[in-house]
Chains A and B, each alone.
Chain A
């Protein structure tokens, strides 16, 4: 599948507006990196779209309150960590199935935000908010640099740190990991909190690109992010996948829209093509001997239960 990406990729790159694509997809990359951790532990989080909207509004309100950008960033990421903490509590400590727990927080958070804001956008943001006050040219590169730096750090931590390997161990077999002394429960909690933080950072990097903060931001983000992770080769059954794969998944799905436009087709076919790519990616994975796994991969219907 990675080979297929390499073949497909060049056509997206010619004549495309590289910079806009990079800036536009930097937030997606951060959310997808966090989601990779969660999927690796055999869980899923569908509440990140709602979290994304809340974090964007929090960022906007804090900025409007006159706080310096550093404090705004702290507050936004803090909000994300807290919401990730709620999911962590429900999944890791109360033992609720992650798809149900995050379905509940997704609905509750989205509607709670609409209740609080009545759908109003955060407008009249201070001048220092957009592009972090660095001007459009520098701000763009700052966004890309932050996203890539965080991504690189996470990718490194996933393979080199004890906590990173615990993520793989937990996702492969939580019970076995626990017996081996890996703190499976704490690891599960950690990945949800980390996803909350990364997703909040994504919301911030996205919010500073516009003059207003939309209260309806991030609708459907969860499915786009999960799609990027899965297309990147991470097994939904946990324990198998890489951050680099997710980067490629984001690159492929994120460049689809611009590529369609450049190829003279219409952007409203983008979603259909995205769906076809997801199906092709899993089908390839399922048919080609379940791709280079280090453990027997379970793709029977019961595997979906784990997710």
Chain B
């Protein structure tokens, strides 16, 4: 066993570096941009970051357990479309359509769980399949063109409203989800099991851990979070289309890995993920306000990702065989 495994929760030096990066971004963009350092803009960053943030939270325990879920972006789109379909075409009141959409997310997550946890198929391939399947169902249902709009104001408040005058509504959703996942991963028996499974599934099995059930839990939760992200997304933009959330899975994975979670499993934290999400969200927002080409964000993200992993390895003396 490599010695650094003794403390899978903490690689505080990595998170300190990441926090410095976020801070550096804030300083640079305050100097470059107009209106960057304002309460209104902070709210705007939070709003824009929430859907990807929810997906990144959901992906953290999945990746910690040694798996991956590529289907979350597609499921976001599928959920958005189903919500629109139920409400507008099905005449279902939103009070019922919202829970139904979350249930759909749970069912979709359960499909991933069945194939990965029960049939023990590789998560990468299973979720690549459901990535196509969910997006395809969204496209099929809407014939590729349908766009659901005109949602009632009460629902849109979830994505556009303020609490106490300054806090965006969906920030509350993000904080609640972060708290839930923080407890799951860092303060529960199930969370410890996830680290053990990610580090060595065979070892975890021999140690008597319920590997299948623990894995099933994170994939079902991931489905629910994707549906929730879909609801927030629709409420934020006021429309539901089949292409909602395209590519979000990769942004979310980027945030998770940037946040210090090992793509091989066994290591990662929720606060690291939140820092990763913040680093990406501030970068996008700052570049736009500073009138710099937003494409720089993609290039910088790529560089940051490679640098973060190399830096972590250098800091921890970690070695990964190819």
List chain A positions with a Cβ less than 8 A from chain B. 43-44, 46, 90-92, 94-101, 103-112, 114-115, 174-175, 185, 188, 223, 226-227, 230, 236-237, 266, 268-276, 278-279, 282-283, 286-287, 299-305, 307
Interchain CA distance A111-B134 in the complex, whole Å: 26
Query: Which parts of B88-116 form the interface with A (CB within 8 Å)?
Result: 115-116
List chain B positions with a Cβ less than 8 A from chain A. 65-68, 70, 115-117, 119-126, 128-137, 139-140, 143-144, 197, 200-202, 211, 215, 250, 253-254, 257, 263-265, 293, 295-299, 301-303, 305-306, 309-310, 319-322
29 A/B residue pairs, CB under 8 Å, sorted by A: A43-B322, A95-B322, A99-B263, A103-B253, A106-B302, A107-B254, A108-B299, A111-B296, A115-B299, A174-B322, A185-B322, A188-B322, A223-B131, A230-B125, A266-B143, A271-B132, A272-B139, A274-B132, A279-B115, A279-B133, A282-B129, A286-B119, A301-B66, A301-B123, A301-B211, A303-B122, A304-B68, A304-B122, A305-B263
Contact, CB under 8 Å: A275 / B301: no
Contact, CB under 8 Å: B136 / A272: yes
Chain A residues closer than 8 Å to B115, beta-carbon distance = 279, 282-283
Contact, CB under 8 Å: A108 / B122: no
Contact, CB under 8 Å: A108 / B303: yes
Contact, CB under 8 Å: A301 / B303: no
Contact, CB under 8 Å: B132 / A100: no
Residue of B nearest to A105 (CB): B302
Q: How far is the CB of B25 from chain A (nearest CB, A)?
A: 17
Interchain CA distance A204-B240 in the complex, whole Å: 36
Interchain CA distance A227-B115 in the complex, whole Å: 17
Contact, CB under 8 Å: B129 / A236: no
Chain A residues closer than 8 Å to B140, beta-carbon distance = 266, 268-269, 271-272
For the complex of A and B, 4 pairs with smallest distance between CB atoms: A111-B298, A272-B136, A108-B302, A275-B133
Interchain CA distance A90-B320 in the complex, whole Å: 13
Chain B residues closer than 8 Å to A91, beta-carbon distance = 322
Main secondary structure of the interface of A (DSSP, over half): helix
Interchain CA distance A107-B257 in the complex, whole Å: 14
Chain A residues closer than 8 Å to B310, beta-carbon distance = 94, 96
Total inter-chain residue pairs, C-beta < 8 Å: 186
Interchain CA distance A105-B296 in the complex, whole Å: 13
Chain A residues closer than 8 Å to B136, beta-carbon distance = 269-275
Chain B residues closer than 8 Å to A174, beta-carbon distance = 321-322
Q: Add 16 more A-B contacts to A227-B129, A269-B139, A301-B65 (CB < 8 A).
A: A43-B322, A95-B320, A98-B322, A103-B254, A230-B128, A236-B122, A272-B136, A278-B129, A279-B129, A282-B115, A283-B121, A286-B120, A301-B67, A302-B202, A302-B265, A304-B122
Contact, CB under 8 Å: B201 / A302: yes
Interchain CA distance A168-B263 in the complex, whole Å: 24
Interchain CA distance A38-B140 in the complex, whole Å: 32
Contact, CB under 8 Å: A301 / B120: yes
Chain B residues closer than 8 Å to A114, beta-carbon distance = 295, 298
